[in-house]
Amino acid sequence: MAAMDADIALFDTAPTDPAILDRAVIAAREAVGLPVGARIVAAMSGGVDSTVTAALLHKAGYDVVGVTLQLYDHGAAISKKGACCAGQDIMDARMAAERIGIPHYVLDYESRFKEQVIEEFADAYLRGETPIPCVRCNQTVKFRDLLDVARDLGAEAMATGHYVQRSFAGGGNRPQLRRAADPAKDQSYFLFATTAEQLDFLRFPLGGMDKPTVRLVAAELGLSIADKPDSQDICFVPEGKYTTVIDRIRPQGAVPGDLVHMDGRVLGRHEGVTRYTIGQRRGLNIAVGDPLFVVRIDADKRQVIVGPREALLTQGLSLKEGNWLGAEDSLEAAAAAGAPVLARVRSTREPVPGRLALVDGAAHLMFDVLEEGVAPGQACVLYDPADPERVLGGGFIVATQRAVV
């Protein structure tokens, strides 16, 4: 059966619709595109989305095996609300698997999550960058390590509850990664690093639904987590205070330094470069008249450089660790061809037009319109200008080129 088309309409979310579950099951089969009875590993975090994914696939007739990763400090996270992959959420996943009637395994990935995600998160701040740990987690622990586990369990595919679509739109023989049908829940920004090989094995049954529909489906399936709140913030950061994590594992980030105006004037002192991100205005504790923003962080000199808002305008950037899902062999090959793209530099922003270029063997992007507050360490996700729903790939921002205004 063909994979779910990217332009599938959103489900009717009216709670009185008696056929909502039947349509969800049909959509799940179309998203999987494998014969009924095939073994599928469902990644279960304990939240609504992954639980509905597992339950739908089971109801659709697949041989589903639930797998949950314990990613960080199980003991400390038992009572933390809005988390995932620890404490209560692991218990919720286990109980949901029992309710669905599928086997379930919990794998202890704390050590590799700490090394590949948490420590990299802290080190990025030490380098003066603004990291994006959810991408790193998907790129390493979930879509690399867990896929190996799924294959070891004899699965023909692994399914997750992400809001993104996998499609063969246009009739090609390679799956495409596409934005979710519901723009409000689209997670394509966080999955740009998914490789072509991984995409062959992954399935996203919720990509054509919106969240209210998913909750209605959960209720129809009799799942107790139908009204469970979504996870918030970064899972391993208590109450959103990321400096608490950094100070514990990289205390050198709290070494004070100078707050410097971009014209060279020293305006004050700061308590550590890890306290600041590009574009930040609050918490500078300096009064010089016009509003000032963090425009650059020089971690080697322990300097936080500030300037007026127009200094945040960016006309270009350079990328590392590129991933490419387009027709070319790599991001660098697309850059050498000068490929036009739509570039998204923050998860909350819409993509803007630009063009790739290859400079000294590295991929660069030049914007057609100036962007503001682009930060090294964040992801730059690239979409197809001819088909804006299609993800072409992207990379992590290494440096920015400030606009001359």
Give catalytic residues, as residue numbers. 137, 235
Q: What whole-number distance in Å separates Cα of residue 122 and Cα of residue 275?
A: 11
Residue at 386: amino acid letter: A
Query: Which ranges constitute the DSSP H helices of 101-174?
Result: 110-113, 119-126, 133-137, 146-152
216 with 15: CB under 8 angstroms?
Answer: yes
Q: Which residues pair with 345 in a beta bridge?
A: none
Q: Report how far apart the first and last C-alpha atoms of the chain are (Å, whole number).
A: 54
**In this structure, what token pair is assigned to residue 109?**
């990935």
Q: Give the Cα separation of 257 and 94 in Å (integer).
A: 48
Share in percent of the chain as helix, strand, coil (round to 5) = 30, 25, 40
CA angle 133, 138, 139 (to 5 degrees): 90
CA quadruple 294, 303, 238, 320: dihedral, nearest 10: 80
CB 92 within 8 A of CB 70: no
